[in-house]
């Protein structure tokens, strides 16, 4: 391709990206949140059954070691929190294998931050403030909406996400002319939730402004605390705009033993579904044993945010050089 050397985004979008990064740094500086930088390469990686990873070989001559590119700076940042860093944020590159499309590039830019002493409600308030601050010059938005996962799932599907009924879920899929869901999901509650949410809930979220969905089913706990009042849900929040997922955050799990068990469960799930082998982050477990302060944190995809601010149809329109041009 003759012009493949050129960037795919407008130069004005490069300037907008620089402006947004400057505004983010100003936002957190005013709140005394420390900017940090952690390694992109590590000996361990996440265990999420839905993610694939990039790896490389570290050749020392006398031995070789496998290293992974981070899918998020989360684990290293939590080690800093355990070491007493206080509230922190980072703007970092992250990498996810096999992800390419309208909203995906295998290399992308992520904003991640952790506020010590914040619960999930505090975090949601700050997310709302930041996103509306960054969007003020570019979008006319209605007030941010907030829904519990159960509330919005019930409203849009008539199904209770906290109580699994295979007959009801399969009947719903059949009524929507999606019989493939029966094969894809089987009798796995979590797979059914992902399928139905992505097809019948998420597209409706955030049509006139940002939307925060909180209180996810406990089967989708990841690194979030189980809710004290309702053990069927976890203190997790996701951010959406016009059906696009922008961010995923938690009131962070502090229990090292519980976190290790969750990693083991995810590793077993990966083995059962023949996903690539991963390495559990024992350094994070050791840090959690030392003690993670009470905190909440979230990661937001900045490339997707730029898509929204520029009303771009594809992530390529806001990247200098997407994967096809590197």
Digit-coded pLDDT (tens) for 262-282: 999 999 989 988 888 888 999
Average pLDDT over all residues of the chain: 95
User: H or E segment at 250?
Assistant: strand 244-251
- Give the Cα separation of 213 and 152 in Å (integer): 8
Beta bridge partners of 64: 59
pTM here is 0.95
Neighbours of 155 (CB within 10 A): 11
Tokens, residue 179: 């019989």
- Tokens 């944020």 correspond to what residue? 89
Is there a contact between 296 and 114 (Cβ–Cβ < 8 Å)?
yes
Whether residue 204 has pLDDT greater than 80? yes
Is there a contact between 8 and 38 (Cβ–Cβ < 8 Å)?
no
Residues 56-68 as b or e (16 or more Cβ within 10 Å = b):
eeeeeeeeeeebb
Confidence of residue 46 (pLDDT cuts 50, 70, 90): confident
Indicate the range of 190-194, 259-263, 268-272, 298-302 predicted with least confidence: 268-272
Confidence of residue 1 (pLDDT cuts 50, 70, 90): low
Whether residue 133 has pLDDT greater than 80? yes
What is the pLDDT at residue 184? 92
Closest CA to 75 of 33, 117, 47: 47
Question: What value does the mean pLDDT take over residues 220-234?
Answer: 93
SS3 content of the chain, % helix, strand, coil (to 5): 40, 25, 35
Percent of the chain with pLDDT over 70: 99
Confidence of residue 116 (pLDDT cuts 50, 70, 90): very high
| Ordered strands of the 233-241 beta sheet | 34-35, 88-95, 107-116, 295-301, 244-251, 233-241, 211-217, 145-148
What is the pLDDT at residue 177? 96
- Give the Cα separation of 253 and 168 in Å (integer): 32
Percent of the chain with pLDDT over 90: 90
Choose between 123 and 99: higher pLDDT: 123
CATH number for domain 11-38+72-144+209-325, candidates 3.20.20.70, 3.40.50.300, 3.30.930.10, 3.40.50.1110: 3.30.930.10
Closest CA to 80 of 300, 297, 301, 302: 297
How many Cα atoms are found within 13 Å in the side-chain-facing hemisphere of 19? 14
Question: What value does the mean pLDDT take over residues 64-91?
Answer: 97
Is there a contact between 260 and 217 (Cβ–Cβ < 8 Å)?
no
Structural domain boundaries in the chain: 11-38+72-144+209-325
Which residues 6+ apart lie within 8 Å of 151 measured at CB? none
What is the pLDDT at residue 49? 87
Question: What value does the mean pLDDT take over residues 269-297?
Answer: 93
Whether residue 2 has pLDDT greater than 80? no
What is the pLDDT at residue 269? 87
- Give the Cα separation of 235 and 230 in Å (integer): 10
Question: What value does the mean pLDDT take over residues 42-71?
Answer: 93
Q: Is 11 exposed, middle or buried (0-12, 13-18, 19+ CB in 10 A)?
A: exposed
């Amino acid at each position: 391709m003759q012009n493949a050397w050129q960037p795919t985004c407008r130069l004005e979008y490069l300037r907008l990206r620089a402006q947004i990064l400057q505004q983010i740094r100003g936002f957190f500086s005013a709140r005394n949140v420390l900017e940090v930088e952690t390694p992109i390469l590590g000996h361990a990686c996440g265990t999420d059954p839905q993610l694939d990873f990039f790896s490389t070989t570290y050749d020392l001559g006398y031995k070789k070691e496998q290293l992974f590119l981070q899918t998020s700076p989360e684990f290293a940042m939590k080690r800093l929190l355990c070491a007493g860093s206080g509230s922190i944020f980072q703007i970092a590159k992250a990498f996810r294998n096999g992800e390419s499309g309208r909203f995906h590039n295998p290399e992308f830019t992520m904003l991640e931050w952790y506020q010590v002493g914040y619960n999930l409600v505090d975090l949601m308030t700050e997310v709302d403030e930041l996103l509306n601050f960054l969007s003020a010059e570019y979008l006319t938005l209605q007030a941010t909406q907030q829904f519990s996962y159960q509330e919005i799932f019930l409203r849009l599907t008539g199904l209770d996400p906290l109580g699994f009924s295979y007959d009801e879920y399969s009947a719903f899929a059949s009524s929507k002319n999606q019989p493939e869901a029966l094969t894809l999901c089987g009798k796995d509650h979590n797979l059914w939730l992902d399928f139905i949410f992505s097809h019948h809930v998420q597209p409706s979220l955030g049509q006139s402004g940002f939307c925060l969905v909180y209180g996810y089913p406990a089967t989708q706990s990841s690194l979030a605390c189980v809710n004290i009042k309702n053990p069927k849900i976890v203190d997790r929040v996701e951010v959406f705009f016009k059906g696009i997922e922008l961010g995923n955050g938690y009131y962070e799990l502090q229990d090292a033993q519980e976190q290790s068990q969750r990693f083991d469960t995810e590793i077993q799930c990966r083995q059962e579904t023949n996903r690539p082998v991963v390495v559990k982050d024992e350094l994070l477990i050791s840090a959690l044993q030392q003690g993670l302060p009470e905190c909440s944190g979230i990661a937001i995809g900045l490339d997707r945010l730029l898509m929204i601010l520029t009303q771009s149809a594809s992530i390529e329109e806001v990247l200098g050089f997407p994967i096809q041009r590197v």
